Amino acid sequence: MSAKSDQNHCPYSDAVLALLLDGDSDTQLIQETGWQRDVSAADLASHRRECPICNSAIESARRLDGLLAASTDLSIDEELASRLLEKTQAIASTVEEPVLATEETGIPRRRLKTQLVGLGLLALGFTAGGLFWQSGEGIGQSNRATEDILLSDQLPPAKYRSSTLEPGMIRVPDASLTRPRRRTERLEMAPRQQLAVLRLTDRLTGSAEFLLELGEHLPVTFLQRLGLGLSSSLSEIRSQTARSLLRSENPEARRLTLASLSAWIDSPALALLLAEARQQTSLRMFLARRIAREFEDELLQRAAVRIGGREIDRQLLLLVADRPASADRIARELGSLQVRPEREQLLLDLWEADQRKNDNVDELQRARRWFSGLPSSSSQALMEEFHRSRRADRRRRALLAIGVCRDPLLSDELRLIVDGSRHEESELAAFALGQLPAGSDELLQELDWSRRPHLLLAAIACRQDARLARSLARLKLSEAEHQFLIAGDFTPEQLAIAAALFRQQGDLAGL
């Protein structure tokens, strides 16, 4: 045990770890491994007592093993387990294949054969081409367009040649790109939509900018070879990759990007990506053309709805006019995002387009399906749309939509509309007030000042306020009318009836 430990390394650390952490006291094995020929387990144990590096290594390794064990989920949910087992029986009972024999040793012959053939082809490629460097990954992609790529070590420029693209020159700003390490990462862009990226070094983290440039010009197989440094968050890498691919007009890159934009759930990363996509005229035009032609493609529709923009929104309207059945799907998709510019206008337009074809759809039900659950910014936008529009039917729809949004911040504006000059709008505003979750104090205070107190009372009754229920006994109402007002939770039509009942009472001051 005379080997010296330098400051950070001890030649016995591995052996000490094997012995003390893994309980491996087989000295024969220690010697087989070739660390130290004449070291016994006892020697290692006594060395460990003296060596701070080995002690520290053991502590760290213990923590690491613990961390690994703690971060491993050994459970499996019942649904997945059942699915796997059922599928197993289904597959196994179809085509019989030989079981992988566990007794085999060494490299399987078939694999060896494939490797030899692959190597032969590679050598042939080098000899024949002479100039072009090929990544090993490209060999398996024989069904794709052939391509020859050379990225020279001497920077820049680098040449590339492809059968699908014109030869050209690109500048490669990082030498490590010229010889990427061959280890690939599978990056999940969408369900079953994976992108193989070569993992390079940390130096390339955040290098999306130049990947953008490359993505613009290069064929798909090269795109797949582009590497990204791993950062701590996978979703960050996915966003980076999607952003890099966003501007590419390469069909494969575009397909992946659209699949990502379509599949990702709402998040700040998606919002950023969508905002970026929205700014690209070529992408918007591409989508607008495609949804006009391929209206059955839901993935395409979904991505288009999420991105939006004038051209796309116009095509979506045409689509709904042609195929009313798609209206609900588009509206649902619009509602799935926190932020989507022009969403409220588009929803109102879709409503109008759909109404022309389907005038028997319950408007309140539709409003609930399309607008309930939208963020507060949406109800504000709807109120703006109400004020902006000069068309009575659009203003009416906007108010109905505001009603189902149940945004207490709009209470004051709604009270003003109740007192406005258009009776139908006043009723809808009262309906919207009746939907608000807040208490009824502010409405009760308003009763003395309002031009239409009967509408405010109907709104209060709509909220099923207990105080109003007690006062109703003083009114001249039939039992059925009494029960109707107590029940509350009116539709706009019912609210108009309730308001009429209050109005019949004449003086409402007693309430």
Query: Residues 198 to 227: which contact other proteins by CB under 8 A?
Result: 199
- CA separation for the pair 318, 85 (Å, rounded): 46
Q: Which amino acid is at 487?
A: A
Within residues 260-289, the interface with other proteins by CB under 8 A covers 262-265, 267, 269-270
Residue 400, CB-side half-sphere exposure with 13 Å CA sphere: 24
Judged by beta carbon, residue 336 or residue 471, the one nearer other proteins is: 336
Judged by beta carbon, residue 300 or residue 432, the one nearer other proteins is: 300
Largest Cα separation within the chain, whole Å, is 109
Please report how close the Cβ of residue 117 comes to other proteins at its closest, in angstroms: 14
Q: Cα dist. 131→126, 176, 180 in Å? A: 7, 19, 18
292: its two tokens: 């006009």
Please report how close the Cβ of residue 182 comes to other proteins at its closest, in angstroms: 12
- The DSSP bridge partners found for residue 158 are 170
Q: Cα dist. 369→287, 328, 416, 489 in Å? A: 26, 8, 27, 17
- Total binding residues for other proteins by CB under 8 A? 81
Please report how close the Cβ of residue 257 comes to other proteins at its closest, in angstroms: 13
Q: Are 173 and 156 in contact (CB under 8 A)?
A: yes
Please report how close the Cβ of residue 383 comes to other proteins at its closest, in angstroms: 31
Please report how close the Cβ of residue 220 comes to other proteins at its closest, in angstroms: 13
Q: Which of 411, 400, 408 is nearest to 368 (CA)?
A: 400
Residue 257, CB-side half-sphere exposure with 13 Å CA sphere: 27
Please report how close the Cβ of residue 234 comes to other proteins at its closest, in angstroms: 5
Q: Does 100 bind other proteins (CB under 8 A)?
A: yes
Judged by beta carbon, residue 238 or residue 284, the one nearer other proteins is: 238
Please report how close the Cβ of residue 333 comes to other proteins at its closest, in angstroms: 11
- Contact characters 225-264, other proteins, x per CB under 8 A: -----x-xxxx--x----------------x---x--xxx
Taking contact as CB under 8 A, which single stretch among the options 75-83, 118-126, 285-293, 339-347 is the one that binds other proteins? 75-83
- CA separation for the pair 160, 219 (Å, rounded): 10
378: its two tokens: 């949406």
- CA separation for the pair 369, 22 (Å, rounded): 60
Q: Which of 238, 232, 231, 228 is nearest to 187 (CA)?
A: 238
Per DSSP bridges, beta strands 193-198 and 147-149 are: unpaired
Within residues 117-146, the interface with other proteins by CB under 8 A covers none
Single out the residue of 102, 143, 154, 421 in contact with other proteins (rule: CB under 8 A).
Answer: 102
Within residues 363-392, the interface with other proteins by CB under 8 A covers none
DSSP letter for each residue of 342-362: THHHHHHHHHHHHHHH-TTS-
Residue 137, CB-side half-sphere exposure with 13 Å CA sphere: 18
Single out the residue of 4, 37, 109, 192 in contact with other proteins (rule: CB under 8 A).
Answer: 192
Judged by beta carbon, residue 40 or residue 471, the one nearer other proteins is: 40
Please report how close the Cβ of residue 342 comes to other proteins at its closest, in angstroms: 24
Judged by beta carbon, residue 48 or residue 225, the one nearer other proteins is: 48
Taking contact as CB under 8 A, which single stretch among the options 160-168, 184-192, 371-379, 497-505 is the one that binds other proteins? 184-192
Q: Which amino acid is at 248?
A: S
Please report how close the Cβ of residue 159 comes to other proteins at its closest, in angstroms: 30
Single out the residue of 194, 280, 372, 491 in contact with other proteins (rule: CB under 8 A).
Answer: 194
Please report how close the Cβ of residue 222 comes to other proteins at its closest, in angstroms: 18
- CA separation for the pair 313, 470 (Å, rounded): 51
Please report how close the Cβ of residue 18 comes to other proteins at its closest, in angstroms: 6
SS3 call for 143:
coil
Single out the residue of 91, 124, 169, 392 in contact with other proteins (rule: CB under 8 A).
Answer: 91
Q: Does 41 bind other proteins (CB under 8 A)?
A: yes
Within residues 447-476, the interface with other proteins by CB under 8 A covers none
433: its two tokens: 């007030």
- Contact characters 54-73, other proteins, x per CB under 8 A: --xx-xxx-xxx-xxx-xxx
- CA separation for the pair 148, 132 (Å, rounded): 6
401: its two tokens: 């939509």
- Contact characters 335-354, other proteins, x per CB under 8 A: --------------------
Q: Which of 316, 385, 312, 321 is nearest to 348 (CA)?
A: 385
List phi, psi (to 5°) of 161. -140, 140
Within residues 287-326, the interface with other proteins by CB under 8 A covers 298-299, 302
Single out the residue of 2, 6, 52, 74 in contact with other proteins (rule: CB under 8 A).
Answer: 74
